[in-house]
Structure formats: structure tokens, C-alpha cells
Amino acid sequence: MSVEAVQKYLNRSRASVYRYANTDPELLNPPYDQTKLNPEVRRDKDAPLEFRPQEVRRFAEEVLGLHPTIQVQPVEETLTHDLMRQMLQELRAIRKLLEEQGK
């Protein structure tokens, strides 16, 4: 994930993402730090920071205490829904008639 994608996922500023990142001006790839957002291994100092989605999720949950929120939105009623509802009512009426005739 790019810095922009992490920024959007965490709902934080770009500067915050860089503050959270485990970077060191002296070391190209600093050792793992569980309190920081650890980037992918880089081969060049000028390479952009990239993060694994699992690492971003771990950091969000364990360090920041964020938990993903799933928002369920009601389905918008359409003509198709209305027609399906009418068909279901007709099928129930037919079933009821067939059951009454079978008795």
C-alpha cells in the first residue's frame, strides 16, 4: 500500500503516516518495531515507502486502537423489488388454493 492508501485507510494526515512509520535517516531498513508502522524492505533510500495491508491493519488495531466499522445501508426500493413482492404474493395465493383443493 502506498502512503496515500494508508492515509485514507487510517483517516490520518500524510504527516501522521510519516510520523507513525518506522524509518531512520541513518538506516535504510530499521529493525521491526511493534509500536511503529513498519514499511516493506527498501533497496534504495529514495524508494517510496510501501506497506503491507496486514501491517497497516495490525498497526491500526494494536497501536491506534481502531477497529474497522462496517456500515450497512438499507437497500433502495426499486420497481424490481415491488414486482418480486407481488409475484411472491401471487405464488402464496396459488399455493394456498392448491393446498385447499388437495384436502
As averages over each run of 10 residues, the pLDDT of the chain (103 residues) reads 93 95 92 95 92 94 84 82 96 96 84
21: three-class secondary structure by DSSP: strand
pLDDT at residue 1 in the model: 93
Tell me the C-alpha to C-alpha distance, in Å, between residue 9 and each of 21, 43, 63, 83, 97.
14, 25, 14, 39, 56
How many angstroms separate the Cα of 15 from the Cα of each of 19, 89, 102? 6, 58, 74
User: In the prediction, which pLDDT does 79 show?
Assistant: 92
pTM: 0.62
Sign of the C-alpha dihedral computed for residues 83, 89, 95 and 100 taken in this order: negative
